[in-house]
């Protein structure tokens, strides 16, 4: 493909402060199997990084069989970055990939084959956790989901119910963005992929899950820290509440919000206590994550329903959510701090050779 030709597929890869991890992610996209059926480019969206991300983009351009372009998005946040990628993409199809992933060599081919053979405009695939050295654990399903794993079925199926596509592994025809719009900025990076999926389906389009389209999500030990997972769980609960608020009438949302509140107190809390008394470390961690998701859902729902709900005091002491004096919010719920998880620019980068993915386990080196 010459520089003047438009590719069939643009892979949008958004990144923030992960220059060396980005290098590894891009390397896995250098020469994907195309079977002579399509062309593709890699579009890297630098989301206001202050490290050497631009230098990495320049260095890898000469190493890749596929064209690599870089654009700079000054507005911080994954949603503005992805929307910038959609705006800058030249391909008929737009695939999304994260900077902490490695692609299977047939990843893009599997998505493209299914979409074109079945005449559908939106497809997603499997995300497998790839534990880095020292991180291997027998994690519970809820924790694996929080870390980005998506292994729903062994055969292609329509996404449905609670199983939705994620931006780490999906491909959408550009005409759908023209029809339903781009990623919703008001969700602030919590459930923007689910929101897009629901808008696509609401317009009568099918969104298919293709398990043979595989990417590997790098999972270093620090991501298994309970504090990190607690924040992640809380934010997911917030995102679920926002999507439910948008998709349902006010009264239906209130009923669902109250039902989830009751489930948290009557089901998840006793299960948490039981796990602490008799369960394994992984069982305790799963129950704690479920409690934090419930807390995020409750507080976000309260802020959406009541002006005074935004004044609810967040306290870490004993995991209690206490009402502010004078506020109409009188319930008490457990939660972790709801501050967004920040990526540390000073943390050591993880570097893997793409071919190591084939073996299912990565080794850690640092630079």
- Residue pLDDT tens, the chain, 367 long: 555 689 999 999 999 999 999 999 999 999 999 999 999 999 999 999 999 999 999 999 999 999 999 999 999 999 999 999 999 999 999 999 999 999 999 999 999 999 999 999 999 999 999 988 767 788 999 999 999 898 878 899 999 877 788 889 999 999 999 999 999 887 655 678 888 998 999 999 999 999 999 999 998 888 989 999 999 999 989 988 988 887 788 889 999 999 999 999 999 999 999 988 887 889 999 999 999 999 999 999 998 888 654 444 333 223 333 333 333 232 223 222 233 333 333 333 333 343 433 333 333 333 3
Inside any domain, residue 42: yes
Is 256 part of any domain?
Answer: yes
Number of Cβ within 10 Å of residue 354's Cβ equals: 20
> Is residue 311, in this structure, part of any structural domain at all?
yes
With b for 16 or more beta-carbon neighbours within 10 A and e for fewer, the 133-145 pattern comes to eebebebbebbbb
- Rounded CA separation 181/364 (Å): 40
pLDDT at residue 154, rounded to an integer: 86
Q: Are residues 185 and 111 in the same domain?
A: yes
Q: What is the pLDDT of residue 93?
A: 98
Alpha carbons within 13 angstroms on the beta-carbon side of residue 279 total 16
Give the pairing of strands 40-46 and 313-314.
Answer: unpaired
- Residue 1's pLDDT is 58
> Do 152 and 255 fall within a single domain?
no
> Is 4 domain-assigned?
no
* Domain co-membership, 199 together with 300: no
Q: State the pLDDT at residue 137.
A: 81
Q: Give a yes or no: residue 327 inside a domain.
A: no
Which pLDDT value is given to residue 221?
Answer: 87
Alpha-carbon distance of 310 to 307, in angstroms, equals 6
Count of the separate structural domains present in the chain: 2
In a domain, 160, yes or no: yes
Do residue 27 and residue 140 come from a single domain?
yes
The residue range of the domain holding 235 is 226-322
Residues 121 and 182 in one domain: yes
Kindly state whether residue 251 falls inside one of the protein's structural domains. yes
Residues 296 and 180 in one domain: no
Same domain, 158 and 236: no
Q: Which two tokens stand for residue 46?
A: 């630098």
**Which 3 state secondary structure label does DSSP give 168?**
coil
241/105 same-domain check: no
- The Cα 362–Cα 364 span in angstroms is 7
pLDDT for the residue numbered 3: 55
If asked whether residues 204 and 237 sit together in one domain, one would say no
In a domain, 153, yes or no: yes
Question: Are 151 and 199 in a shared domain?
Answer: yes
Same-domain status, 145 and 197: yes
């Amino acid at each position: 493909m010459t520089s003047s030709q438009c590719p069939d597929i643009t892979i949008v890869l958004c990144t923030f402060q992960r220059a060396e991890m980005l290098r590894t992610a891009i390397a896995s996209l250098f020469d994907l199997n195309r079977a002579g059926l399509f062309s593709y480019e890699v579009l890297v969206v630098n989301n206001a990084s202050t490290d050497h991300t631009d230098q990495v983009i320049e260095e890898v351009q000469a190493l890749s069989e596929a064209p690599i372009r870089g654009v700079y998005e000054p507005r911080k946040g994954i949603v503005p970055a992805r929307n910038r990628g959609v705006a800058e993409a030249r391909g008929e199809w737009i695939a999304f990939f994260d900077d902490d992933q490695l692609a299977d060599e047939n990843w893009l081919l599997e998505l493209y084959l299914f979409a074109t053979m079945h005449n559908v405009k939106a497809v997603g695939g499997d995300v497998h956790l790839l534990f880095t050295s020292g991180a291997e654990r027998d994690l519970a399903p809820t924790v694996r989901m929080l870390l980005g794993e998506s292994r729903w079925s062994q055969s292609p199926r329509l996404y449905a119910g609670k199983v939705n596509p994620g931006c780490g592994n999906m491909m959408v025809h550009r005409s759908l963005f023209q029809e339903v719009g781009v990623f919703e900025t008001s969700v602030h990076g919590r459930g923007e992929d689910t929101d897009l999926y629901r808008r696509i389906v609401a317009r009568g389009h099918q969104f298919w899950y293709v398990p043979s389209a595989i990417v590997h999500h790098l999972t270093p030990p620090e991501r298994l820290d309970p504090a990190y997972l607690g924040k992640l769980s809380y934010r997911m609960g917030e995102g679920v509440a926002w999507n439910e608020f948008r998709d349902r009438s006010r009264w239906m949302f209130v009923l669902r919000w109250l039902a989830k509140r009751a489930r948290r107190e009557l089901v998840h809390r006793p299960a948490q206590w039981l796990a602490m008394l008799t369960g394994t470390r992984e069982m305790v961690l799963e129950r704690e994550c479920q409690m934090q998701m419930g807390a995020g859902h409750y507080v976000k729902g309260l802020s959406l329903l009541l002006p005074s709900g935004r004044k609810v005091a967040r306290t870490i002491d004993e995991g209690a959510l206490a009402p502010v004096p004078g506020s109409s919010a009188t319930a008490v719920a457990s939660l972790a701090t709801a501050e967004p998880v920040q990526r540390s620019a000073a943390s050591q980068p993880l570097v893997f050779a793409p071919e190591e993915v084939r073996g299912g386990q990565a080794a850690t080196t640092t630079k």
